[in-house]
Homo-oligomer: A and B are copies of this chain.
Amino acid sequence: MTMKLLKGALPPVPGFKAVGISCGIKKDGQKDLALIVSDTPATAAGVFTTNRVQSPSVTWSRNALKSATIRAVLINSGNANACVGPQGMKDCKAIAEGVAKQLGTPPRQILLASTGIIGVPLPAEKITAALPDLTGKLSLKGWKDAADAILTTDLVPKTAAIRFSLGGKKIVMVGMAKGSGMIHPNMATMLAFVHTNAAIDKATLRQALLEANDASFNRITVDGDTSTNDSFLVMANGQAGNKPIRKGSKDYAQFVEALTKVSKDLAFKIVLDGEGATKFITVRITGAKTRKQAHQVATSVATSSLVKTGIFGEDPNWGRILCAVGYAGVPIQPDRIVIALNGATLFKNGMPTRSASMESLRKKMQKKTILIAIDLNSGKETTEVYTCDFSYDYVRINAEYTT
């Protein structure tokens, strides 16, 4: 039985409540503050941006995850709380203390995440003043509001959910994410949160998170830039009553499958909402000598401005793809490479094939999803990386965005 993502509204996750409101960080009354709370202490795990410049919110959550259990995650949008000097950490402390007081827990059980403009001090007092209202509105059905409140330049909210059974116990998993620009492997301006009622110990949850992350968020790229604030957090409160999931067990495999499905769905939705994106591009590498080389080649192609503008122009330009393969820094043999675009082989034996007519190729390129398949014919390793095309709107959005 393969697991399938749920359609429609997000289901409740036993023991979790969520909420999203406007506290005045964003203009025009847009939602900008989200809170997700577990009634009981939950295990939690997280991965964060690899950027050397990190938001204090990231530093705070990294430290909080040293606690045995976590009770809640508070997310604000509209302000990244980054590059603001020592005030940033002071604000984190004040906000976490405020949330903790409302919930009757220690502050180190509160995770924080921020997204928005950087270099402007967080209006922390607006957040703390809103906390009674925020916690008062917590509800089993608050997912949608929370998912709305974490967005910035996103065009649509991004959520995913799945249901499965472990030893007869019903497990629910709900995820939400934000991000459209600055999306690049190893975490970008991207926030993602998954909440589940499964019982799983902290170390095993962390392992599952790393596996799911490697197959999802670490494989997407929009513009190659990585941000100061990216976080992917998972909380599991055990209220399903399943036998705690152990590493290497069949239950673990199922849990990882579910977490990967949810993460991948959220990651794809981020790419589809990429700034100015008109197409979803999969770069599939086969026949690589090592996994690392496969990833290097895939990333080189997926981040090439020439490849991405070419696909925006619906041009079956294998030459730009081959070029990007060539400068990936991997020892390749050009004569062995086979390049196909949406199923049509365009390059083989060191030269273009002449099989497909230009007309049929142009038709294939008009599709909204584009598969760039590159066989290096030098080994057995494979990978996939996901990205979007590069359009006028990318330039417009990023040239007009004002600091």
Which residues of A approach B to under 8 Å, CB–CB? 50-54, 82-87, 117-120, 181-182, 184, 223-228, 303-306, 309-310, 312-313, 315-320, 322-328, 330-332, 334, 347, 349-352, 390-392, 394-396, 398-403
Copies in the complex: 2
Q: In the complex, are the beta carbons of B313 and A228 less than 8 A apart?
A: no
The answer to whether B85 touches A399, judged by C-beta atoms less than 8 angstroms apart, is no
Give the complex CA separation of A367 and B313 in angstroms. 31
A225-B304, A305-B223, A334-B53 known; A182+B398 contact, CB < 8 A = no
CB distance from A307 to the nearest CB of B (A): 8
Complex contacts, A182 vs chain B, CB 8 Å: 306, 323
List residues of chain B with CB within 8 A of the CB of A52: 325-328, 330-332, 334
Contact present for B326 and A51 (CB under 8 Å): yes
Interfacial chain B residues near A303, Cβ < 8 Å: 224
Asked if A351 and B83 sit within 8 Å, CB to CB, the answer is: yes
Contact present for A323 and B227 (CB under 8 Å): yes
Is A305 within 8 A of B398, CB to CB?
A: yes
Instruction: Give chain A's interface secondary structure class.
Output: loop
A319–B118 contact, CB under 8 A? yes
A118, A318, A391 — which one has the most chain B CB atoms within 10 A of its CB?
Answer: A118
- In the complex where A319-B403, A323-B182, A351-B84 touch, is A306 in contact with B398 (Cβ < 8 A)? yes
Residue contact A398 to B313, C-beta cutoff 8 Å? yes
A317 to chain B, nearest CB (A): 5
Q: Find out whether the CB atom of A83 lies under 8 angstroms from the CB atom of B399.
A: no
Residue pair A398, B319 in contact (C-beta under 8 Å): no
* A-B pairs with lowest CB-CB distance, top 8: A313-B399, A53-B326, A309-B398, A85-B351, A51-B326, A119-B352, A52-B326, A118-B319
Q: Contacts A309-B394, A347-B83 given: A53-B322 contact, CB under 8 Å?
A: yes
User: Is the Cβ of B313 less than 8 Å from the Cβ of A401?
Assistant: yes
In the complex, what's the smallest C-beta–C-beta distance from A180 to chain B, in angstroms?
12
Query: What separation, in Å, do the CA atoms of A54 and B351 have in the docked complex?
Result: 12
Additional A-B contact list (8), CB under 8 Å, known A53-B323, A182-B306, A228-B322: A53-B322, A53-B332, A53-B334, A83-B322, A83-B352, A225-B306, A390-B395, A392-B396
Q: Do A315 and B403 have beta carbons less than 8 Å apart?
A: yes
B323 and A226 within 8 A (CB): yes
